[in-house]
């Protein structure tokens, strides 16, 4: 840090970023098998960042230390009031950070935003390892009492490179990523590497989270997986209390297991056992079991809750060597849509969605899978409104276009087309408008459906209702009546009629039923007061689906953008590339787009 500061113009000792993050390449071996990966400050996860809610802004300088890949860093779940240029999305909120360059992200953490977030890269498949926890601390005492907290970041580990994973998804014929080779917890996983086949390292292990007896812990769980939707339960700790969903406190809600999709976060309170209880059980280590759902086969992983006590001996089991028993230790249910999400209510009783009378219109986001060409050279992709999102389009990022004064919004065209403007390939919304955004789960050509965690950037909307089957005003009203009180969140499951996912050997995926192409088999509704001007992504947080096009962009109040901070335009607006030099791929950049710094 001191070498870095020395390079800065001296404008007072206080002028330094709150955090410096360096995105680079490194060899990881989460489950002992080596993989070239993108890391943040050399590790995966990167450092846990902490900042306090309130008026102070946080300034994070991000360096791209990679030789041949562009990058950006996104602050997942954090509202970007007044700082849409800090949202960290290529083609939408900024030029990507070219190799050897850096970018300054500065944003405020609004009062009331205390909670659990994450940061991750937003270019190509690097997100599979380039992520970290971001904790927004309460400015006062948190509304729930706890003695301490622990952070549990869930991830997927693949042996294929980021480039191969992405390239396969976009190839003809299409090559699926398959399920990950390991589920990681805080970057760790148990594994048995075969050095005949792969380069190996030793020392990988199941993550151990240690606690003291007789205490209350806040366990913050972060879904940083690229693909896996996980169920989690704790051995001999049959229930816990949910207190936070995606950065908002909720009234305590008892649950026996946790459901975490990619992009979602939860906090729960865990009351640890007393010494007497531990003695009665005869052990001090307990499995936390992880199993994936909504796929044709299940992935398994774990972490270990270890009591830090010398007062009684452990149960003799070596936690690092018993993984094969894992998936039998704690029974977890089969897939079921919506979990406890209809019953969880906001802690702040005054927190309520905008009234129906304020809703100006309904915007539809119709995610569906399509295939092209003959089967031996078939491409597979995901679309909304017939358009496959690509992080390379438009050639100039939306927000830069808007600051240049070159983005013309045709609200009428969008309103006439369920909210989608076919010219800009976006969902334009006027500043201050209240809209219902309906995610539709539409059957593919082969009659299949999947469950998708849709994520919205910019601001947390209210989740108004979840449904299965066709969407209609009647279905919406009935589902709302079934919801105790809407909560805010930024990543929401859009499920489907239970019998329509891919056929496979396990769980509900086994039913092998299809639904006619184009039929809507499930939906979820967000209600958004669009008072945060900026260009914000809306996408499925399953990275393979996103790579295959499952995303779109909300353009909120493009006429009322906040001014750029003084001096920021030099870094933000300009780049040293002629249009012909625009790389064909952000994640495989070879020269081309370069951000020129003046300092
Ligand atoms: Cu965590 Cu655009 O996503
Ligand atoms: Cu998806």
**Would the CB of 489 count as within 6 Å of ligand 1?**
no
Q: Which atom of ligand 1 is nearest to the CA of 263?
A: 1
The pLDDT assigned to 312 comes to 59
Among the ranges given (266-275, 287-296, 429-438, 538-547), the one the predictor scored with the smallest mean pLDDT: 287-296
pLDDT at 140: 95
pLDDT at position 111 over 90:
yes
Atom of ligand 1 nearest to the CA of 262: 1
Q: Write down the pLDDT at residue 122.
A: 97
> In the prediction, which pLDDT does 297 show?
84
What confidence score (pLDDT) does residue 325 get?
Answer: 54
33 CA → ligand 2 middle, Å: 28
Average pLDDT of span 43-59: 92
Q: How far is the CA of 415 from the centre of ligand 2 (A)?
A: 25
1-139+568-599 and 356-560 have identical folds: yes
- The response to whether residue 74 sits with its C-beta less than 6 Å from ligand 1 reads yes
Ligand 1 atom 1, closest CA:
76
Q: Rounded to an integer, what distance in angstroms lies between the CA atom of residue 246 and that of residue 118?
A: 10
What integer pLDDT is reported at residue 582 of this predicted model? Answer: 35
> For residue 3, how far is its CA from the centre of ligand 1 (angstroms)?
32
CB atoms under 10 Å from CB of 313, counted, come to 10
- CATH number for the segment(s) 142-334: 2.60.40.420
Residue 504 is predicted with a pLDDT of 56
The percentage of residues in the chain with a pLDDT greater than 90, rounded to a whole number, is 72
Query: Bigger pLDDT: 332 or 11?
Result: 332
The ligand 1 atom nearest the CA atom of 539: 2
d(CA 439, CA 428): 16
CA 228, CA 449: separation in Å to the nearest integer? 16
pLDDT digits (tens, 9 = 90+) for 231-255: 999 999 999 999 999 999 999 999 9
Mean pLDDT of the chain: 88
Q: Tokens standing for 50?
A: 């902490």
- pLDDT of 330 strictly over 50: yes
pLDDT at 444: 87
Give pTM, 2 decimals: 0.92
Amino acid 528: pLDDT:
98
Question: How many residues appear in the chain?
Answer: 599
Going from the Cα of 69 to the center of ligand 1, the distance in angstroms, rounded, reads 19
Asked whether residue 467 carries a pLDDT value surpassing 70, the answer given is: yes
- The residue that leads in pLDDT, 549 or 592, is 549
DSSP 407: -
265 lines ligand 1 (CB under 6 A): no
- What are the sequence ranges of the domains in the chain? 1-139+568-599, 142-334, 356-560
The confidence band for 5, taking pLDDT boundaries of 50, 70 and 90, is very low
Q: What is the pLDDT of residue 377?
A: 85
CATH number of 1-139+568-599: 2.60.40.420
> Is 537 near ligand 1, meaning CB less than 6 Å away?
yes
Report which of residues 101 and 497 the model is more confident about: 101
Atom number in ligand 1 closest to CA 546: 2
pLDDT in the model for residue 583: 38
Ligand nearest to the CA of 262: 1
Residue 7 has pLDDT above 70, yes or no: no
Lowest mean pLDDT among 51-55, 195-199, 289-293: 51-55
Contacts of 259 (CB under 8 A, 6+ apart): 229, 230, 231, 232, 293, 339
Which atom in ligand 1 lies closest to the alpha carbon of residue 77?
1
pLDDT single digits (tens) 350-390: 999 999 999 999 999 999 998 887 878 888 999 999 899 98
What is the tens place of the pLDDT at every residue in 488-539? 999 999 998 755 566 555 554 555 677 888 999 999 999 999 999 999 999 9
Tell whether ligand 1 has an atom less than 6 A from the beta carbon of residue 76. Answer: yes
Domain 356-560 CATH class label: mainly beta
**pLDDT of 15:** 67
Q: Which residues are paired to 250 by β-bridges?
A: 346
Q: How far apart are CA 207 and CA 200, in angstroms?
A: 19
């Amino acid at each position: 840090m001191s070498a870095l500061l020395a390079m800065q113009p001296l404008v007072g000792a206080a002028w330094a970023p709150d955090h410096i993050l360096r995105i680079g390449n490194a060899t990881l071996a989460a489950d002992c098998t080596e993989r070239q990966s993108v890391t943040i400050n050399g590790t995966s996860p990167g450092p846990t960042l902490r900042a306090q809610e309130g008026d102070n802004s946080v300034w994070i300088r991000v360096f791209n230390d990679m030789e041949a890949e562009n990058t950006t860093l996104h602050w997942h779940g954090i509202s970007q009031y007044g700082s849409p240029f800090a949202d960290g999305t290529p083609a939408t909120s900024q030029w990507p950070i070219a190799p050897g360059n850096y970018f300054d992200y500065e944003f405020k953490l609004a009062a009331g935003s205390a909670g659990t977030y994450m940061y991750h890269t937003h270019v190509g498949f690097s997100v599979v390892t380039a992520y970290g926890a971001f904790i927004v601390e309460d400015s006062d005492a948190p509304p729930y009492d706890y003695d301490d907290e622990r952070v549990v970041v869930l991830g997927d580990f693949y042996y294929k490179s980021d480039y191969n994973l992405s390239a396969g998804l976009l190839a003809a014929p299409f090559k699926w990523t398959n399920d990950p080779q390991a589920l990681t917890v805080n970057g760790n996983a148990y594994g048995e590497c075969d050095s005949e086949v792969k380069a190996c390292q030793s020392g990988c292990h199941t993550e151990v989270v240690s606690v003291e007896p007789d205490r209350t812990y806040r366990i913050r769980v972060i879904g940083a997986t690229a693909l896996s939707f996980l169920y989690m339960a704790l051995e001999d700790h049959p229930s816990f209390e949910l207190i936070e969903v995606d950065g908002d406190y909720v009234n305590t809600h008892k649950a026996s297991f946790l459901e975490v999709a990619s992009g979602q976060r939860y906090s729960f309170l865990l009351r640890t056992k007393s010494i007497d209880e531990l003695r009665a059980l005869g052990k001090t280590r307990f499995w936390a079991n992880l199993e994936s759902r909504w796929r044709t086969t299940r992935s398994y992983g774990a972490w270990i809750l270890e009591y830090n006590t010398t007062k009684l001996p452990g149960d003799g089991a070596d936690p690092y060597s018993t993984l094969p028993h894992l998936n039998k230790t704690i029974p977890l249910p089969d897939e079921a849509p919506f979990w406890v999400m209809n019953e969880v209510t906001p802690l702040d009783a005054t927190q309520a969605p905008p009234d129906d009378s304020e809703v100006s219109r309904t915007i539809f986001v119709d995610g569906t899978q399509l295939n092209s060409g003959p089967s031996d050279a078939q491409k597979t992709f995901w679309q909304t409104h017939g358009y496959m999102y690509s992080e390379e389009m438009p050639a100039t990022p939306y927000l830069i276009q808007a600051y240049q004064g070159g983005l013309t919004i045709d609200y009428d065209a969008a309103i006439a087309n369920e909210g989608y403007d076919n010219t800009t390939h976006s969902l334009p919304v006027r500043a201050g408008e209240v809209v219902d955004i309906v995610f539709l789960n539409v059957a593919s050509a082969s009659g299949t459906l999947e469950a998708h965690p849709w994520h919205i950037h910019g601001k947390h909307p209210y989740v108004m209702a979840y449904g299965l089957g066709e969407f209609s005003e009647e279905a919406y009203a009935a589902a709302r009546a079934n919801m105790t009180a809407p909560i805010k969140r930024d990543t929401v499951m859009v499920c489907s009629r239970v019998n329509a996912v891919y056929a496979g050997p396990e769980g509900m995926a086994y039913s092998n039923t299809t639904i006619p192409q184009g039929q809507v088999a499930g939906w979820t509704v967000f209600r958004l007061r669009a008072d945060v001007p900026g260009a914000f992504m809306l996408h499925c947080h399953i990275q393979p689906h996103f790579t295959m096009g499952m995303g779109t962009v909300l353009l909120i109040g493009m006429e009322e953008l906040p001014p750029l901070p003084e001096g920021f335009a030099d870094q933000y607006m300009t780049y040293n590339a002629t249009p012909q030099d625009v790389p064909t791929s952000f994640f495989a950049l070879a020269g081309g787009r370069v951000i020129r710094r003046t300092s």
